[in-house]
């Protein structure tokens, strides 16, 4: 147990965030930090592989277009070493290149756009946060017989 962990408390989910664009990396890191995730950053695929091999991550989020090793190559490398680790690919070329979960090997593919933050938050939460049990709809709730009061 590390000094920051309280006995019985679960550790923050760890995310490896990869992007060669420092502004995009910083903006996404700020959003994920604000949501309570522990974020480690890498500025290229090679750095990401080194970080991944040195640590333990619950999720990897990578940009597609990067020098030397693009996001799909990084995903293939990570899948070889850790097939169960969830991966999210972010790209401005999703439609133009036909990037999908099937074609990339990612668990989610997100288009860079004005809605990117919303899509990223939704995808990360879906992958890392356990589903909460919802109350059944009124039509599915058991009917309770009311007790009659005798006055």
Residue given tokens 């522990």 in the structure block = 38
Place of tokens 């006055």: 151
Give the integer Cα–Cα distance in Å for 71 and 122.
20
CB atoms within 10 A of CB 58: 17
H-run or E-run covering 18: strand 14-18
Q: How many residues does the chain have?
A: 151
User: Rounded CA gap, 107 and 103, in Å?
Assistant: 11
pLDDT per residue rounded down to tens, the chain (151 residues): 333 334 444 588 999 999 999 999 999 999 999 999 999 999 999 999 999 999 899 999 999 999 989 999 999 999 999 999 999 999 998 988 889 999 999 999 999 999 999 999 999 999 998 665 555 555 555 555 555 555 5
Closest CA to 125 of 90, 86, 73: 86
In this prediction the pTM is 0.79
Tell me the C-alpha distance between 69 and 19, whole Å.
Answer: 11
Q: Which of 26, 32, 36 minimizes the C-alpha distance to 60? A: 32
3-state SS, residue 67 = coil
Question: Is residue 93 helix, strand or coil?
Answer: coil
Residue 94 contacts residue 109 (beta carbons within 8 Å): yes
């Amino acid at each position: 147990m590390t000094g920051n962990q309280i006995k019985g408390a679960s550790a923050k989910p760890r995310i490896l965030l990869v992007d060669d664009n420092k502004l995009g990396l910083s903006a996404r890191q700020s959003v994920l930090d604000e949501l309570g995730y522990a974020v480690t950053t890498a500025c290229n695929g090679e750095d990401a592989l080194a970080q991944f091999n040195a640590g333990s991550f619950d999720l990897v989020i990578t940009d597609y277009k990067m020098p030397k090793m693009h996001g799909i190559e990084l995903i293939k490398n990570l899948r070889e070493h850790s097939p169960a680790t969830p991966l999210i690919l972010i790209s401005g070329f999703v439609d133009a290149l036909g990037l999908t979960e099937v074609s990339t090997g990612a668990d989610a593919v997100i288009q860079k756009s004005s809605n990117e933050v919303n899509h990223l938050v939704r995808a990360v939460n879906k992958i890392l946060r356990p589903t909460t049990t919802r109350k059944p709809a009124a039509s599915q709730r058991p009917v309770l017989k009311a007790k009659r009061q005798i006055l």
